């Protein structure tokens, strides 16, 4: 039986009278790359934020590795704060990358392991990320704010991996990047899944690229999941082609 590392059941999020998420049900199995596609404003980023405790649930439950981390029902006491969720093994690369612009590349990486007290292990992980992202070694003393968009995205991903997560959440990693850089970023995401054995939940407007590297996909419209299928099937789905693939 496939282990569901992440499961959302009837998750709802309201902003005042506006329903941002309208009863989302989805799951991510261990070892998968799962993509969530949809138009801008569909609720994709809200969903990721709700997983890590940055949005309050008005209904529903979220479990990670079989344990409840967010609950809007009788078990609200099981809600974990964001730092505990991260410590449990989830990392988020936010939309817009979210690097600390006035800190160096090295300092950004160190911030990614702020929960780690073992200095030798922290140093080992930094070296590991330099091996994975060679450009970051070259830029290690450079301020993050002076990096190119692609370099900042690589830094954001490397920083998220510093906590050795079991599940990596990626919010619009292709946003604002040139096509060649996007290809490099998605190749890196595939490599992380394959070589680092990290499960990945990817939110992306570039539907074709996201579905091309993922195992399974969900389509979201105005806070609802309207389609779920193997990514290969979604790439051939006429409705998905017309709405999201420009075909």
Architecture (CATH level 2) of domain 4-95+166-244: 3-Layer(aba) Sandwich (3.40)
Full-model pTM: 0.92
pLDDT digits (tens, 9 = 90+) for 100-158: 999 999 999 999 988 888 999 999 999 999 999 989 999 999 999 999 999 999 999 99
pLDDT digits (tens), the chain, 247 positions: 468 999 999 999 999 899 999 999 999 999 999 999 998 889 999 999 999 999 999 999 999 999 999 998 766 667 899 989 999 999 999 888 789 999 999 999 999 988 888 999 999 999 999 999 989 999 999 999 999 999 999 999 999 999 999 999 999 999 888 899 999 999 999 999 999 899 999 999 899 999 999 999 999 999 999 999 999 999 999 999 999 987 6
2-14 burial, b if ≥16 CB within 10 A, otherwise e?
eebbbbbeebbbb
């Amino acid at each position: 039986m496939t282990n569901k590392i992440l499961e959302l059941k009837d998750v709802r999020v309201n902003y005042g009278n506006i329903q941002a998420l309208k009863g989302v049900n989805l799951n991510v199995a261990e070892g998968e790359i799962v993509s969530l596609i949809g138009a801008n404003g569909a609720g994709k980023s809200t969903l990721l934020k709700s997983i890590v405790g940055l949005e309050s649930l008005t209904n529903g439950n979220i479990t990670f590795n079989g344990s409840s981390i967010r609950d809007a029902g009788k078990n609200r006491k099981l809600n974990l704060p964001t730092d505990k969720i991260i410590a449990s093994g989830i990392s988020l690369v936010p939309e817009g990358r979210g690097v600390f612009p006035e800190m160096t590349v090295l300092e950004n990486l160190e911030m990614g392991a702020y929960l780690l007290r073992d200095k030798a292990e922290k140093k080992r992980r930094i070296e590991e990320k330099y091996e994975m992202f060679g450009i970051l070694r070259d830029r290690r003393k450079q301020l993050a704010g002076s990096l190119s968009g692609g370099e900042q995205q690589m830094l954001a991903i490397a920083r998220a991996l510093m906590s050795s997560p079991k599940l990596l959440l990626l919010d619009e990693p292709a946003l604002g990047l040139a096509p060649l850089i996007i290809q490099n970023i998605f190749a890196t995401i595939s490599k992380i899944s394959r070589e680092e054995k990290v499960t990945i939940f990817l939110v992306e407007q570039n539907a074709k690229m996201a579905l091309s590297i993922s195992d399974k996909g969900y389509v979201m419209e105005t806070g609802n999941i309207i389609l779920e299928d193997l990514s290969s099937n979604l790439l051939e789905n006429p409705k998905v082609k017309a709405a999201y693939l420009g075909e």
